[in-house]
């Protein structure tokens, strides 16, 4: 079962005016509650689930989204650390707990709680099918009213209604905030499906077609530690300026270099930023360089790297260079929260690292900056300008782990 961790997040909507004579009333700041979920039975399974998701990304990219390529045939348990929103669907505002996912773009329900048609429901008659590597669903595509709050309602959002799903026990589906191209070939007779963000923008509800995310490291079962901003950025959640870099590929992809101390372990390679991946994944050559530099050893019990107290005290920063700006990932940011060691089958007080091996290099997938990375930086996913932005936060250098 998932263990929910309550946290509050805000959907920030700016005021604006449309370019034509019709004035559109863009709403002030709105908020919706989110909860963190952790479905972890062991560190080994967490790593396996992250790698299965990564393989699904690679397969989709290679085959340009063909249904056969998206199928992940290796049986794994969907282990994750992510965030859910309680989203209303239909005229009766029936509530569904949906994972907020930047690595996919379809919104769908019915994994646990079943969908019931109301007066706002309309079946398109089209089939829908998406595989995430560590889970999948198939069903029928509908359009329906989607309610994020009483003031934030999408009158006709395309959603999948699952007839079958796997890997989503304890949640009801996904709200996808990835690029719209990720919906290609997922719905029959349809090229792409507008995302929730697309529809909020086209309806004039938000000023810009972008979404921004801030989190902070969660180290207990009681944390209020996140915000989701639609249509603009919240300057109270980051420090300094936001650095933007061009989006690469179909996903929220970027180019970056990474150094450990004086050694460059990633040199201007392409990869993705993904809320649905928990760990920081590096291709084998980069991972091996990191292991050698830190002196870490692979722990057979958890499947994660492990360091001694002395090695932890000697850890150096990982420095990510993105868009010409250096983002420092501190030694504390590189370790699994020690208060949560039991969740990965670890020993209390031992020190485990959150860097894992992504495998052989594949074009466009030399790294995945997952949730552990996103908790340290403010991130902006800008559809209108096809760019991704990052800024430091008060939690970039936190020592809570």
Terminal-to-terminal C-alpha distance of the chain: 24
For residues 2 and 216, which has the higher predicted lDDT (pLDDT)? 216
What confidence tens digit (pLDDT) does each residue in 179-233 have?
A: 999 999 999 999 999 999 999 999 988 889 999 988 888 766 545 467 788 888 8
pLDDT computed for residue 215 by the predictor: 84
Residue 93 known to be catalytic: no
In a domain, 398, yes or no: no
User: Can you tell me the mean pLDDT for 104-122?
Assistant: 98
The conformation of residue 364, written as its DSSP 8-state character, comes to T
Is residue 227 a part of any domain in this protein?
A: no
State the pLDDT at residue 5. 36
Residues with Cβ < 8 Å from 347, sequence gap 6 or more?
Answer: 301, 341
Structural domain count, the chain:
2
pLDDT digits over 327-345, tens only? 999 999 999 999 999 989 9
208 and 268 in a single domain? The answer is: no
Domain co-membership, 90 together with 122: yes
pLDDT for 148: 82
- Rounded CA-CA distance 335/351 in Å is 7
Better-predicted residue by pLDDT, 122 or 363? 122
- DSSP 8-state class, residue 372: H
Q: Per-residue pLDDT tens for 303-330? A: 999 999 999 999 999 999 999 999 999 9
The predicted structure's pLDDT at residue 364: 86
**Annotation says 59 is catalytic:** no
Give residue 96's pLDDT. Answer: 96
Same domain, 151 and 240: no
Which pLDDT value is given to residue 351? Answer: 98
Within a domain: 229: no
25 shares its domain with 110: yes
Q: Answer yes or no: do 182 and 276 share one domain.
A: no
Would the pLDDT of 86 be above 90? no
Tell me the pLDDT band of 84, cut-offs 50, 70 and 90.
confident
69 and 172 co-located in one domain: yes
Same domain, 170 and 241: no
The answer to whether residues 306 and 298 touch, using CB atoms and an 8 Å cutoff, is yes
Q: Are residues 195 and 277 in the same domain?
A: no
Q: In this structure, what CATH number is given to the domain that contains residue 207? A: 2.40.70.10
Q: Which residues contact 129 (CB under 8 A, 6 or more apart)?
A: 67, 136, 137, 138, 139, 186
Q: What is the pTM of this model?
A: 0.88
**Residues 291-301, mean pLDDT to the nearest whole number:** 97
Q: Are residues 158 and 260 in the same domain?
A: no
Of the residues 198, 274, 350, 357, only one is catalytic, namely 274
Last residue of a domain, one of 215, 244, 263: 215
Cα 87 to Cα 39, 90, 171, 281, distances in angstroms: 20, 10, 12, 31
157: in domain: yes
241 with 199, same domain? no
* Structural domain contains residue 223: no
| Residue 221 included in any domain | no
- Out of 101, 144, 198, 350, pick the active-site residue: 101
pLDDT in tens, 124-144: 999 999 999 888 999 999 999
Q: Where among 182, 215, 248 does a domain terminate?
A: 215
Q: Which domain holds residue 12?
A: 5-215
**What stretches of 106-162 show up as alpha helix (H) in DSSP?**
none
Chain CA centroid to CA 340, Å: 20
């Amino acid at each position: 079962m998932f263990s929910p961790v309550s946290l509050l997040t805000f959907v920030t909507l700016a005021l604006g005016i449309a370019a034509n004579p019709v004035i559109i009333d863009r709403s002030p700041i709105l908020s919706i509650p989110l909860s963190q979920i952790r479905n972890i039975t062991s560190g080994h399974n967490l790593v396996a689930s992250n790698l299965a998701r990564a393989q699904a990304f690679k397969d989709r990219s290679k085959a340009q989204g063909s249904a056969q390529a998206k199928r992940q045939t290796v049986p794994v348990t969907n282990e994750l650390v992510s965030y859910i929103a309680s989203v209303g669907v239909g005229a009766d505002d029936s509530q569904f707990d949906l994972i907020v996912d930047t690595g996919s773009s379809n919104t769908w329900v019915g994994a646990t709680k079943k969908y019931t048609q109301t007066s706002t429901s309309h079946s398109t008659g089209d089939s829908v099918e998406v595989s995430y590597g560590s889970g999948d669903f198939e069903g029928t595509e509908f359009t329906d009213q989607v309610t994020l709050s009483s003031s934030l309602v999408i009158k006709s959002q395309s959603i999948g209604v699952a007839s079958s799903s796997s890997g989503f026990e304890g949640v009801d589906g996904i709200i996808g905030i990835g690029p719209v191209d990720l919906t290609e070939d997922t719905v029959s007779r349809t090229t792409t499906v507008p995302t929730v963000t697309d529809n909020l923008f086209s309806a004039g509800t938000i000023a810009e077609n972008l979404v921004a995310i801030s989190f902070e490291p969660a180290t207990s079962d009681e944390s209020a530690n996140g915000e989701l901003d639609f249509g603009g950025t919240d300057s109270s959640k980051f420090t300094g300026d936001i650095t933007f870099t061009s989006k690469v590929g179909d996903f929220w992809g970027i180019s970056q270099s990474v150094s450990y101390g004086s050694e460059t372990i990633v040199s201007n390679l392409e990869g993705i930023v993904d809320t649905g991946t928990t760990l920081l994944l590096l291709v084998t050559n980069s991972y091996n360089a990191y292991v050698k530099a830190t002196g870490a050893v692979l722990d057979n019990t958890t499947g994660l790297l492990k360091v001694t107290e002395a090695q932890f005290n000697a850890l150096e920063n990982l420095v990510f260079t993105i868009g010409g700006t250096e983002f420092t990932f501190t030694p504390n940011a590189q370790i699994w929260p020690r208060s949560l060691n039991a969740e990965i089958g670890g020993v209390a007080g031992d020190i485990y690292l959150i860097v894992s091996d992504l495998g052989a290099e594949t074009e466009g997938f030399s790294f995945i900056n997952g949730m552990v990375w996103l908790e340290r930086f403010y991130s902006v996913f800008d559809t209108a300008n096809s760019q991704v932005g990052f800024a430091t936060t008060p939690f970039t250098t936190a020592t809570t782990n």
